[in-house]
């Protein structure tokens, strides 16, 4: 395993972990299900996500 592999892996993990890749996945899904509707912009998508968090609180343990 080279350093490049490790860095790539780390970048992949951080992007997945923080949910940064969620937008790309959402767009892909959107294009598949609604091929003719315009894909939401990143800003619109993040607003949707925030809205969702607003009504779905998740517990954090101690």
Partner 1 sequence: MPKTTHARPKSIILWTCIALLGAVAWGMVALARGEEISAVWLVAAALGSYAIAYRFYSRFIARRVLKLDDSRATPAERLEDGVDFQPTDRRVLLGHHFAAIAGAGPLVGPVLAAQMGYLPGTIWIVVGVIFAGAVQDMVVLFLSMRRDGKSLGQMAREEIGKVGGAAALIAVFVIMIILLGVLALVVVNALAHSPWGTFSVAMTIPVALFMGFYLQYLRPGRITETSLIGVALLLLAIVGGGWIENSSLADAFTWSPTTLVFCLAGYGFVASVLPVWMLLAPRDYLSTFMKIGTIALLAVGVLVAAPTLQADAVSDFAASGTGPVFAGSLFPFLFITIACGALSGFHSLVASGTTPKLIQKESQVRMIGYGAMLMESFVAVMALIAAAVLDPGLYYAMNAPAGMLGTTAESASQAVAGLGFSITPDQLAAAAKAVEEQTLIARSGGAPTLAVGMSEIFSGVFGGAAMKAFWYHFAIMFEALFILTTVDAGTRVGRFMLQDMLGNVWKPIGRVNWKPGIWITSALVVTAWGYFLYTGATDPLGGINQLFPLFGIANQLLAVVALTVCTTVLVKSGRLRWAWVTAVPLAWVVAVTFTAGWQKIFSDDPRVGFFAQRQKYADSIDAGTVLPPAKIMDDMHTVVTNSTVDGVLIAVFLLLVAIVIVNAAVVCVRTLRSPALLPTTEAPYVASQIEAPVPGHRKELAGARE
The residues that touch partner 1, with contacts defined as CB under 8 A, are 9, 12-21, 23-26, 28-29, 42-43, 45-47, 50, 52-62
Q: Are 30 and 40 in contact (CB under 8 A)?
A: yes
Nearest approach, Cβ of 3 to partner 1 (angstroms)?
16
22, 10 in Cβ contact below 8 A? no
**What is the token pair recorded at 34?**
């609604």
What minimum distance in Å lies between the beta carbon of 53 and partner 1? 5
Query: How near is the Cβ of 56 to partner 1 at its closest, in Å?
Result: 7
């Amino acid at each position: 395993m080279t350093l490049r592999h490790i860095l790539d892996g780390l970048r992949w993990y951080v992007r997945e972990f923080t949910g940064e890749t969620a937008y790309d996945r959402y767009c892909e899904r959107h294009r598949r299900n609604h091929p003719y509707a315009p894909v939401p912009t990143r800003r619109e998508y993040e607003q949707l996500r925030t809205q969702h968090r607003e009504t779905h609180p998740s517990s954090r343990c101690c």
